[in-house]
Amino acid sequence: MEIIGYIGAILMGLSLGLIGGGGSILTVPILVYLFHVDAVLATAYSLFIVGLTSLVGSVSHIKLGNIHWKTALVFGIPSIISVFFTRSVIVPHIPNPMFSIGTLVVSKAMGLLVLFAIIMILAAYSMIKPSKKKIETNESDITFNFPLILAEGLIVGVVTGLVGAGGGFLIIPALVLLAKLPMKKAVGTSLLIIASKSLIGFIGDMKGTEVIDWKFLFIFSSIAIVGILLGSMLSKKIAGEKLKPVFGWFVLIMGIYIILKELL
């Protein structure tokens, strides 16, 4: 099962490199079901893995000038604040068990996994539905809808903090629609935002009493980094938009599987 898990790490990195998001949604299920990591700890591990992988992936975009720094700050700062608050304050205070319905007792781990599965299904929908033709804009044409960008940043930060996913499937559409970024700049800027808020979110988990398997984290992250580097190279030859629906169907199946496994 561990071999399948490490193959999943490569696929996660490939997705981030090819389409700028989506891949991190696989990390928690891989950690929970293939490596048997506790669900709450898996969301923390996922933040580290996704953050480090995205940081490496963003380097090539920085060199190519595919980062729109103003947008990264406007979107990234509220996102970083909300993910840090979520990990350091909200997640530790979620009761365990959360609630019960008849004979069904919903534990904290089960609740987070079901929420994660719902996020997966929403992410799958955004990847499967046909994307509208996007008109590439010039740097001088980039405009900002500040209130919506700030609100989206806060929401994505909370989602990232709760389930440990980078949120690229939410960030990229927001950057294209709200900040009017060209797709290439949206992908590069998204990776930088994902890296920043994920690593800050992981720091929000550190209370000094955690037992972190750093060896495993670095092995998994290193494999995912190989994937994102391969994905970045392949993105020059393969259109990420063509792969999104296929990946979306896979994520949809995974999301439904998690809900059925946890609730039945």
What pLDDT is stored for residue 219 in this prediction?
94
Inter-axis angle of helices 39-64 and 108-128, nearest 10 = 30
**C-beta atoms surrounding 106 within 10 Å:** 16
Task: Give the pLDDT confidence of 87-100 residue by residue, as tens digits.
Answer: 889 988 999 889 88
| Residue percentage of the chain with pLDDT more than 90 | 15
What pLDDT is stored for residue 162 in this prediction?
86
Looking at residue 13, its amino acid is G
Inter-axis angle of helices 108-128 and 240-263, nearest 10 = 150
Give the global pTM.
Answer: 0.82
Range of the domain at 115: 2-263
Domain count, the chain: 1
What pLDDT is stored for residue 185 in this prediction?
84
Closest CA to 200 of 53, 51, 70, 68: 51
In the chain, which residues have pLDDT < 50?
135
